[in-house]
Structures are given as structure tokens and as C-alpha cells.
Amino acid sequence: MNLLSEITTAQWTSLGPRIVGATFLWAAVIKAIAPGTFYRHLASLGWIPGRLLWPAVTAAAGFEAGWGVALILGFAPEPVLPATVVLLIVFSAISWWGVRSGKAADCGCYGGLIQPSIAQSLGLNLLFAALVLAAWLVPVAATQVALWKIFISVAAAISAGALAEFARRYPHKHGRELFDLNPLKPGRKWRHSWAGGATSKNTSDEMLVAYLGANCPYCTRFVTIANAMMQSPVLPRVFGVVGSSREQMDAYVAEKGIRFPVSAISPSLMGRLAQSVPTAVLVRDGRIERVWIGNMPVDFVDRFRRAFFPDLAPDAALPAGEQPVAGERSLAPS
């Protein structure tokens, strides 16, 4: 007899909740190892008071991990499966509202690793809901709740929450992230999606992409220098990137008098690419040549000096107001 014909309908449909559970677990792991990206997303929605944002990130990572493992193990399907459908509806409504209101650019579910559009996100949630409903509607023999499934689900939730909290505190003690998911590394090929597609219009061999923050005072200084750079044919073309809605970006551009192209990306992607602002990325011939945060490197300052002040002594300071400035942590303190 064919092996496929021996697999019952219940066994086929049970794959659906496991797929959904694996997705929940994957999203939880992303939140746990890179909590700052989800922090930014929650902050952009404006629903949660600032002092509760980090606890909310920890709770979200733990909840999604525990729920995902419960789905994978088939724990208590009668209450868990319909509750999962309700959760997917709630998540879809929040995502739709966030994008519709201009407070977010995507669902923020996957930590900037992938960025589905709102239509794609809602479509995925609809598919997940259908998979779960199919399993719920197929009758199965009642089974006793296994204590080991409860233990593993709770252990997964606690582990994910603890990892998220540890990853949050790690940079404050060690000066670097616990897990470096930032793709902006010298030698890597530049992706135009990291600047909202704006850099695809660049025709020069060299460009400077600056990640900026609307509330960052150091970025205002950087804007002054970048505006001047746009007037020089020998300096890289500048592109600005902010993690906000398009409406907020337009207001920022108008307020600061920015004269170079600026694009908006989702706060979750911004959190993955720029842990602090301003962060500058020098791209040459389609590849990242160097990345710096805050102060411009000495050799780049010298390029600026030669372009605008060729008669100034090499060891002289730049004019007041054009000194390179230090960056600032873009995430809220613990």
C-alpha cells in the first residue's frame, strides 16, 4: 500500500499547527537575541508607556516561545487551536492599524530579518489561521494532557524571556551586542532595501548612507555637514535614512532643512541596521567599504577639509559648527 494513503487526514492537518508553532518560535527567538528591534517597533506604536517597553519585549518573547512549542507538541488542542486563531486575528488587526495610522511600516514580527508588506503579512496570518482551523475541525481522539508538554512549553517561555533580558543588558556591560545580526559590515554587498530603495537611483561609484534619528542632537550636526557635502563633486553623494513613517520623515526633513535624499524604513529594520545614530556607511562600487558611528574618521574629515578648505593647514580644526560629533545610543536606557 502506498505510504501516503496510509497517512490519515488528522495526521496531515496536524502539520498545520506545527508549521504555525515553528513560526511563533522563530519570531520569539529573533525577539530574544535582538530585543532592541522589537523595542523600537513597540515604541513606534505608542501604546505602551516607556518604562514598560522592555518588560513588554521580554514578555512577548517568552509568550511566543511557549505558545509556539505548545503548538508543535500538540498540547491541549481544543483550547489552544481556537485561541491561536484569535491571536492571529488580534496580531493582524494591530499590524494593519500600525501601518494604516503611519506609526509603523511593517508588522515588526520578524525583527527586520524579513520585511513582508502589510498585505503579505495579513496573507500569511490568514494562511496560518486556515491551517490551524483545518486541524481544529478534524475530529481526533481525546487524549490526556501530558505534564511533560506543559513543562517543555513553560521552560521554553522562561528561557526565551530570560535570553531577551540577558541580551538587553549585555551591551551596557560589554559595549557590544550579544548577537551581532547587523549586516552592515565592510566587504558585504550593499542592498538598496537597507535605504528604502533610495540608493538604487545613485549613479556615482561612491555614496555615504547616514542613519539618522529625529530626536538625536548629534544628527543635526551631521545634517549640516551632509548638506555641505552635496555641493561638492569630489565628495560622496549622501543619502539619509530614518526609522519612521513617511509622514514623520517629511516633517523631519522640513524641520532640519535637509537638502539630500532621505528615505524611511521600518523601525524594526532600523533597529537591526543602526544600534546608535548617527551611523554612516560608506559604499563604493556596490560594496560596503567602512562603517562608523558618531565621529567621522580622521581621513574622511581630511577629505572634507580638502574639498572646502584647501588652504587650511592639515592639522587645523574645521570651522565652528562643522566639527564631527559623537553618536548617541538610539535605544532607551535600561
State the Cα angle at 48 between 42 and 50, rounded to 5°: 90
pLDDT per position as a tens digit, 270-318 = 888 987 889 999 999 999 999 999 878 888 888 888 888 776 655 554 4
Mean pLDDT of 221-250: 89
Of the CA atoms within 13 Å of residue 324, those in its CB half-sphere come to: 18
Residue 119 pLDDT greater than 60, yes or no: yes
Tell me the pLDDT of the chain averaged across its residues: 84
Q: Maximum CA pair distance of the chain?
A: 88
Report pLDDT for 215: 82
Ranking 26-30, 69-73, 322-326 by mean pLDDT, the lowest is 322-326
C-alpha closest to that of 239 among 289, 269, 272, 278: 278
Q: Which of 31-40, 68-77, 107-116 has the lowest mean pLDDT?
A: 107-116
Q: For residue 201, name the pLDDT band (cuts at 50, 70, 90).
A: confident
Split at pLDDT 50, 70, 90, the class of 186 is very high
How much is the pLDDT for 5?
Answer: 47
State the SS3 of the chain.
CCHHHHCCHHHHHCHHHHHHHHHHHHHHHHHHHCHHHHHHHHHHHCCCCHHHHHHHHHHHHHHHHHHHHHHHHCCCHHHHHHHHHHHHHHHHHHHHHHHHCCCCCCCCCCCCCCCCCHHHHHHHHHHHHHHHHHHHHCCCCCCCCCHHHHHHHHHHHHHHHHHHHHHHHHHHHHCCCCCCCCCCCCCCECCHHHHCCHHHHCCCCEEEEEEECCCCHHHHHHHHHHHHHCCCCCCCEEEEEEECCHHHHHHHHHHHCCCCCEEEECHHHHHHHCCEECEEEEEECCEEEEEEECCCCHHHHHHHHHHHCCCCCCCCCCCCCCCCCCCEECCCCC
Contact between 184 and 281 (Cβ < 8 Å): yes
Q: In terms of Cα–Cα distance, which of 243, 237, 229 is closest to 195?
A: 243
Q: Distance (Å, rounded) from C-alpha 195 to C-alpha 327?
A: 19
Dist. CA 18–CA 135, nearest whole Å: 10
223-248 mean pLDDT:
89
Is the model's pLDDT at 320 over the cut of 70? no
Q: What proportion of the chain, given as a percentage, has pLDDT over 70?
A: 87
State yes or no: pLDDT of 198 exceeds 50: yes
Write down the pTM of the prediction: 0.75
Residue pair 106/272 in contact (Cβ under 8 Å)? The answer is no
Q: Spell out the domains of the chain, with CATH numbers in brackets.
A: 3-174 (no CATH), 192-329 (3.40.30.10)
